[in-house]
Amino acid sequence: MQTHTYDVVIVGAGGAGMRAALESSKRARTAVLTKLYPTRSHTGAAQGGMCAALANVEEDNWEWHTFDTVKGGDYLVDQDAAEVMCKEAIDAVLDLEKMGLPFNRTPEGKIDQRRFGGHTRNHGEAAVRRSCFAADRTGHMILQTLYQNCVKQDVEFFNEFYVLDLIMTGSGEHRRTAGVVAYELASGEIHIFRAKSVVLATGGVGKVFKTTSNAHTLTGDGMGIAFRSGIPLEDMEFFQFHPTGLAGLGILLSEAARGEGGILRNSEGERFMERYAPTIKDLAPRDIVARSMANEVREGRGCGPNKDYVLLDLTHLEPAHIDAKLPDITEFARTYLGVEPYTEPVPVYPTAHYAMGGVPTNIEAEVLRDNTHVVPGLYAAGEVACVSVHGSNRLGTNSLLDINVFGRRAGIAAAEFAATAPLLDLPDTPEVATVELLESMRSRQDGERVATVRKALQETMDRNAQVFRTEGSLKQALSDIEGLKARYRNVSVQDKGQRFNTDLLEAVELGFLLDLAEVIVLGALERKESRGGHFREDYAHRDDVNFMRHTMAYREEGADGSAVRLDYKPVVQTRYEPMERKY
């Protein structure tokens, strides 16, 4: 076992982690630990864009952007956080431009901007061009640009190091983070990283669902680790289902396709979004479009032999325009479905895409241990965190923005904290729980396979906790998860070796998925209303009297194991009164 000492440890090298590292490493001795090679992080898969009210092509301002974000999130957004994000958006884009990011340009040479769902002019008058982009590879360009700048700045990376635990010391208000426990994939060795501050930037948890746009590695590790360390999770029941996954596969076709003029049609050829959102139609926010699509299918207007998807029609767009603005995603349609988007509409259906909830933080990216108090020295940013700028439904292009704005804030805050904080003493054997967990799975013979349990989890989540939910479906999901947790205690791995044992790590990741699925479903069961990405058929309306509040889930240890306790936190409202959401 090796022990390393740093001022700041950042867990994750996606957009949030690397943006934090660029700030932190200028000010403090910083290490970035990542289970993937940095440029394989999911940020690199982001397609459509990153928004900021630059007003390069149409009149716009950050206040309209804030309003859209609050309304898009169905008023569960903390409005102070949304103001910070939308104001700082402009510099966040310009910073990336200065770092060398090759944005698409207007004929005059300004950063070009395109339309995206829910982004409007003057509080909903019409769609506005707010998303900055690099073709349909915006995330790829952000990730490469941040990585190159990290290399230039000599940021220290520990690649293929899996963080499996937070080291906590003290109790109550003195409870603090003293570092992390990590597992090195290449050797199987355990490493202790002591640090004055720790930044969680581990991304999302899409793999709780079967049909998802998320990479295989998005298993919610940071959320799971924080939760097991006694930190609550906020608003986990709000999961975004992106309308346009390739039917049957879930691979994402960016909303940019509709931003560039694509239209959704049902089996009758009807542009059905005109009925659901008469003003901005196909560019309504994702929750509304996903539900409308699912409804068309339910009412028998789905397409294909099983009438189980709708069509995304790009055939009226010029092929040259498609090639210039949407090259990658049209290639996905050709490769994975054998459909030619120039001449044929593409089969699409909602796919699990984004976790609005996560580790609760304030606008300084400090992690909260309850409704008001922070855990000193612990920070979170990006999809792992819930600050809450997305409320119950994130607007497209607001996540690439979130990771840059709050990644930057987390990096600065963590380094500033480390400048004055002492290095804490470590507990005697901080690695013990991790070693026991790994050894129990590695040594177990004849247990059930990890993949079987994971598949069963994903299937029940798709069936029972997806676009439409009811008390009955959620109770079914919960009892399935309980059963699967019991089976999980008996899983074993085939690979018993030390080196590159991904089999073993997938078993650990499944443990996080099970814990988090339970929190998602419990939150959804107790939230007896419909808001944003959470739609209850048995409570089809938003209920501000009882549910205009964030869910806070705590893990409590009892004599017969752990249980989840739900509590609530008020929503921060500044200037926008909740209204009925119409588009």
Ligand X SMILES: Cc1cc2nc3c(=O)[nH]c(=O)nc-3n(C[C@H](O)[C@H](O)[C@H](O)COP(=O)(O)OP(=O)(O)OC[C@H]3O[C@@H](n4cnc5c(N)ncnc54)[C@H](O)[C@@H]3O)c2cc1C
> Using the rule CB under 6 A, which residue among 7, 23, 30, 35 binds ligand X?
35
> Using the rule CB under 6 A, which residue among 10, 49, 84, 258 binds ligand X?
49
Choose one: 7-15, 145-153, 298-306, 315-323; the region binding ligand X (CB under 6 A). Answer: 7-15
By CB under 6 A, tell whether 202 contacts ligand X. Answer: yes
By CB under 6 A, tell whether 41 contacts ligand X. Answer: yes
301-338 burial, b if ≥16 CB within 10 A, otherwise e? bbbeeebebbbbbbbebeeeebeebbeebbebbeeebe
By CB under 6 A, tell whether 294 contacts ligand X. Answer: no
By CB under 6 A, tell whether 12 contacts ligand X. Answer: yes
Q: Which string of x and - marks every residue 247-286 that binds ligand X (by CB under 6 A)? A: -----x-x--------------------------------
- Mind giving me the DSSP string for 102-135? ---B-TTSSBPEEEEEEEEETTTTEEEEEEE-ST
Closest Cα partner for 139 from 42, 69, 217?
42
By CB under 6 A, tell whether 389 contacts ligand X. Answer: no
**Residue 172 beta carbon to ligand X: minimum distance, rounded to whole angstroms:** 27
Q: How many residues bind ligand X (CB under 6 A)?
A: 42
The strand pair at 374-380 and 190-200 is best described as: parallel
Q: Which helix (H) or strand (E) holds 92?
A: helix 79-99
User: Is 286 among the residues known to form the active site?
Assistant: yes
By CB under 6 A, tell whether 158 contacts ligand X. Answer: no
> Using the rule CB under 6 A, which residue among 10, 13, 96, 128 binds ligand X?
13
**Residue 478 beta carbon to ligand X: minimum distance, rounded to whole angstroms:** 26
**Residue 385 beta carbon to ligand X: minimum distance, rounded to whole angstroms:** 8
Do residues 233 and 553 touch, judged by C-beta distance below 8 A? yes
Closest Cα partner for 280 from 255, 308, 248, 315?
255
Do residues 534 and 237 touch, judged by C-beta distance below 8 A? yes
By CB under 6 A, tell whether 177 contacts ligand X. Answer: no
**Residue 510 beta carbon to ligand X: minimum distance, rounded to whole angstroms:** 13
- Rounded alpha-carbon distances, angstroms, from residue 525 to 57, 528, 532, 548, 564: 44, 7, 15, 16, 13
> Using the rule CB under 6 A, which residue among 81, 128, 190, 201 binds ligand X?
201
- Rounded alpha-carbon distances, angstroms, from residue 125 to 26, 116, 119, 167, 510: 44, 14, 10, 50, 45
CA–CA dist 203, 381 (Å, integer): 9
**Closer residue to ligand X in complex, CB, 163/564:** 163
**Residue 508 beta carbon to ligand X: minimum distance, rounded to whole angstroms:** 8
Q: What is the DSSP letter of 448?
A: B
By CB under 6 A, tell whether 73 contacts ligand X. Answer: no
Q: Which helix (H) or strand (E) holds 327?
A: helix 327-337
Q: Which string of x and - marks every residue 112-151 that binds ligand X (by CB under 6 A)? A: --------------------------xx------------
Given 19, 137, 286, 369, which residue is catalytic? 286
Residues of this chain that interact with ligand X (CB under 6 A) are: 11-17, 33-36, 41-43, 45-50, 138-139, 162-163, 201-204, 213-214, 221, 252, 254, 354, 382-384, 397-400, 403
Query: Which residues are catalytically annotated?
Result: 286
